[in-house]
Structure 1
């Protein structure tokens, strides 16, 4: 049995009771640590809390070499831990399908996700979001502009855009850096950069930071430690605008 267990947004307090029971009863516990991370805890604390050894997985372990995971799940109970909700990432859906193809039973224990948390923190209505996108760290000779094209397409449809920010090993993209990259992408594509952003830091913690405003304003805002995420809003409904005025300083 391969059990996908969501850990929630920020720390060990976010896991459900059902998820906790599943992990403590597992024969093997894996932690996927590349799509998202719980910034309010670490692997050592997780191992003490769950009373289990945790095997940390890289992207290659999951996407290219998942044989060990599937073979262990064929012999016993395997808990596959992820930040947020397990099935928001397509790489996890792929692993579940591979397990099913190998005749391994699977289950999902859902948890809070940034995809829903941004709506509560920003007041932006969930049914008004279009396709999401991710802003990667640029590399030498590589500067994709697809994210700003997604944002522009959503704005044309009057839809909000959830923008995920890159995570690499011990490097986390921050909101000011992401806005600067989006503006550079827009300039390269001859697209008008977004006029309004909502920046959110440490969703799920006791002290999240939420700020709305222009790119210039948010690049000067002190959001504090990661994880950070961005939203590019479309035209605001009066209730959305009032919510942002009250809770995000618009």
Structure 2
């Protein structure tokens, strides 16, 4: 049995009672720690709360050689932990398909997701979001144009864009840096982005939410990770009022 368990947004206490109970009854517990991370906790703190040793899984473990832990799930109960909600990531969808092909029974225990948390923190209505995109760090002189293409299409359709910011083992992308990159891409395509909304540390006791122009967000101290960005389309009257009230628009 392989159980995908969402840990929520920020620290080890975000997990559901159902998820915690399943972890404690599992034979093996693994934490996938590359698609996202819980920045408000550590593996040691998780181990203490869960009462189980937590094994770390990285990109190569999950995408390259998942058979290492999938084989265990044929005869044992394996808990596969992820930040947020497990099935937001296509990596985990692929993993569940692989497990099914191996005859492994699977189950999902959902957790709070950044997708819904952003709506609550910004007031942007969930049904007004279009396609999301990821913004990676440039690699040498290479930088993908997909993010600005997605944003441009969503703006044309009057939809908001959720922009996932790159996470690497030794660094994470910050909102001001992401805004600078998107401004350069937008200028190259001859378009303008009037408003950005930045969110830092969703799920913590001190999240930061700020909305405004690129210049305005450059002066905001968003603090530590994780950061995520929204490029709004046309704002509904209530969305604008919410951003004015809670995000300084």
TM-score, normalised by the number of residues in structure 2:
0.98
Partner residue, 1:218:
217
Q: Identify unmatched segments of 5+ residues in structure 2.
A: none
Partner residue, 1:67:
67
**Please, what is the CA RMSD of the aligned residues?**
0.8
CA contact (8 A) 1:130 1:159 kept: yes
Counterparts of 1:118 and 1:238, CA distance in 2: 18
Instruction: Please give the secondary structure, in 2, of the residue aligned with 1:221.
Output: coil
CA contact (8 A) 1:182 1:193 kept: no
The number of aligned residues is 249
1:34 aligns with 2:34: yes
1:86 aligns with 2:61: no
Instruction: Please give the secondary structure, in 1, of the residue aligned with 2:55.
Output: strand
Q: Identify unmatched segments of 5+ residues in structure 1.
A: none
Task: String of CA shifts for 1:150-197, please: whole Å, max 9, x gaps.
Answer: 000100100000000000003011000000111122233x23141100
Partner residue, 1:230:
229
Counterparts of 2:174 and 2:31, CA distance in 1: 24
Counterparts of 2:199 and 2:190, CA distance in 1: 24
Partner residue, 1:57:
57
Give 1:99-178 correspondences, 5 Å limit: 99-178=99-178
CA contact (8 A) 1:30 1:57 kept: yes
TM-score, normalised by the number of residues in structure 1:
0.98
CA contact (8 A) 1:8 1:111 kept: yes
Partner residue, 1:209:
208
